[in-house]
Amino acid sequence: MDTNDIIGHLLGEWSLTPTRLEAIVLRIALAFLFASSIGYERAINRHFAGLRTFNLVSLASTLAALCDHYLFHTYNSRVPFVSAAAVIGVAIISCNTIMFSSKNQLKELTTSVGLWCTSIISLCIGFGRYTAALIGFAIMMVSLTIFSPIEKRFKRQSPLFEIHLELKNRTLLQEFLDAVRKFGLHIDNVELNPSYATSGMGVYTIAMTVTDRELRRHTRAQLLEALAALSCVHFIEEIQ
């Protein structure tokens, strides 16, 4: 029994005894509550993994920790085999949620890491580390809800940005690049979008930097509007 956990100490000895039914119910319910909050935030923002996925990952991780507790006390096991297997399993699932869009944009990375973090938080709860789990959950929710608009603001202010570009013809790439340089933009990288590599379409992912000081006074939307007005451009969009 761990008597060093602050929240567990406040709740009472029963919450720190993993073999008691009340403690088992509390840990599963608390993990379910935390996972539901994280999953709800992902679901309302239309991410790949939502409420059910986060709840199931949380349940599996919490039960894994409880199983290891049982092995510790019954068979004097010293290695948390079940918990380690749960972490590895969730890591594999998380990797499979990462996707590339047709615009060559990496998607669902935050959701993937969120699944893994939820698993770790649930393991903490399963092992009776309520305080660590609560702190981790609070920091995770702040990162998902508050830091997101801050991150977008920093990206808008940065002179570096990437665009998804569709030209009317693949042979018009040089014309577009010449026009961009005249605008005062530096081309950092040009990559043919692999999703359209065999289609014959001129679709590219281009990284560029605003080098002209006067040009930096304009918003990103104004820059894209000016580029979209070029005769060789069929469609252009910033990659967030």
| Ordered per-residue pLDDT tens for the chain, 240 residues | 555 788 988 888 888 888 889 999 999 999 999 999 998 888 887 666 678 889 999 999 999 999 998 888 888 888 888 999 999 999 888 877 665 555 455 567 788 888 999 999 999 999 999 999 999 999 999 988 888 777 777 777 777 888 888 888 878 888 898 888 888 888 888 888 776 666 667 888 888 888 877 777 778 888 888 888 888 888 888 887
Do 195 and 229 reside in the same domain of the chain? Answer: yes
Say what the pLDDT of residue 48 is: 65
Do 18 and 49 reside in the same domain of the chain? Answer: yes
Do 71 and 99 reside in the same domain of the chain? Answer: yes
| Spatial CB neighbours of 25, under 8 Å, sequence gap ≥ 6 | none
The domain boundary, picked from 145, 170, 192, lies at 145
The reply to whether 159 falls in a domain is: yes
Say what the pLDDT of residue 88 is: 92
The domain boundary, picked from 122, 145, 168, lies at 145
Do 36 and 111 reside in the same domain of the chain? Answer: yes
Do 112 and 198 reside in the same domain of the chain? Answer: no
CA distance 181 to 184: 5
Do 54 and 173 reside in the same domain of the chain? Answer: no
Choose among 189, 193, 202: nearest CA to 104: 193
The reply to whether 224 falls in a domain is: yes
Q: For the segment 19-40, what is each residue's pLDDT rounded down to a tens digit?
A: 889 999 999 999 999 999 998 8
The reply to whether 222 falls in a domain is: yes
Do 104 and 164 reside in the same domain of the chain? Answer: no
Choose among 61, 59, 55, 58: nearest CA to 83: 61
Number of folded domains in the chain? 2
Q: For the segment 80-104, what is each residue's pLDDT rounded down to a tens digit?
A: 889 999 999 998 888 776 655 554 5
Do 24 and 139 reside in the same domain of the chain? Answer: yes
CA distance 195 to 73: 54
The reply to whether 95 falls in a domain is: yes
The reply to whether 120 falls in a domain is: yes
| Spatial CB neighbours of 98, under 8 Å, sequence gap ≥ 6 | 106, 107, 108, 109, 112
Q: What is the CATH number of the domain that holds 168?
A: 3.30.70.260
Do 65 and 127 reside in the same domain of the chain? Answer: yes
Do 25 and 90 reside in the same domain of the chain? Answer: yes
The reply to whether 67 falls in a domain is: yes
pTM: 0.71
The reply to whether 1 falls in a domain is: no
3-state percent breakdown (helix, strand, coil) of the chain, nearest 5: 60, 15, 25
Range of the domain at 208: 154-238
Do 92 and 164 reside in the same domain of the chain? Answer: no
The domain boundary, picked from 145, 168, 185, lies at 145
The reply to whether 129 falls in a domain is: yes
